[in-house]
């Protein structure tokens, strides 16, 4: 590359890793305690730190947010552009099965395992509703 520095871009792409955690056909969501979308339900996960793999990030974030040790497998990624105004997120989604009860921390107000039908009756943060529908579509093709 030579000795010229890389150009700094005004807008940055943020990378996050989230886990769709399933227990008996129901998916785990946590209720947010901070903006954006305070009080809405979301898929557990968060930002990938510099030098961290997305797999390590999702394992860490799930442990921090809901106290679960998971063995995730990669599902898909999704670009989330302006879901949060003036932000571009590249979110990597993983799947994990779970039989344990989550433990909530300060980032979340509550947790709940929801059936697909129940998801239609709650406020869901960001573009997580679209992500969950994509997850269900992919699962129906596998069967």
3-state secondary structure of 91: strand
Residue 141 pLDDT:
67
Q: With bands split at pLDDT 50, 70 and 90, how would you rate the model's confidence at 142?
A: low
Helix (H) or strand (E) holding 96: strand 88-97
Contact 32, 108 (CB under 8 A): yes
What is residue 49's three-state secondary structure? coil
Token pair for 115? 């059936």
End-to-end CA separation in angstroms for the chain: 48
Cα 123 from chain centre: 15
Report, as an integer, the average pLDDT of 5-31.
Answer: 84
pTM (two decimals): 0.88
Per-residue pLDDT, 10? 52
Domain spans, the chain: 13-142
Distance CA 104, CA 99 (A): 16
pLDDT at residue 123, as a whole number: 97
More confident call, 84 vs 141: 84
CATH node for 13-142: 3.90.79.10
Read off the pLDDT of residues 20-53 as tens digits, 9 standing for 90 and up: 999 999 999 999 988 889 999 999 999 999 999 9
């Amino acid at each position: 590359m030579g000795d010229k520095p890389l150009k700094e871009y005004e807008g940055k792409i943020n990378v996050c890793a989230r886990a769709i955690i399933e227990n008996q056909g129901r998916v785990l969501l946590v209720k947010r305690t901070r903006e954006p979308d305070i009080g809405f339900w979301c898929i557990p996960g968060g930002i990938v730190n510099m030098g961290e793999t997305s797999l390590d990030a999702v394992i860490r974030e799930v442990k921090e947010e809901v106290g679960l040790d998971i063995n995730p497998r990669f599902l898909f990624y999704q670009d989330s552009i302006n879901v949060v105004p003036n932000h571009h997120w590249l979110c990597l989604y993983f799947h994990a099965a779970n039989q344990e009860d989550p433990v909530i921390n300060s980032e979340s107000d509550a947790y709940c395992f929801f059936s697909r039908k129940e998801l239609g009756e709650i406020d869901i943060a960001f573009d997580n509703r679209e992500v969950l529908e994509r997850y269900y579509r992919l699962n129906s093709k596998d069967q």
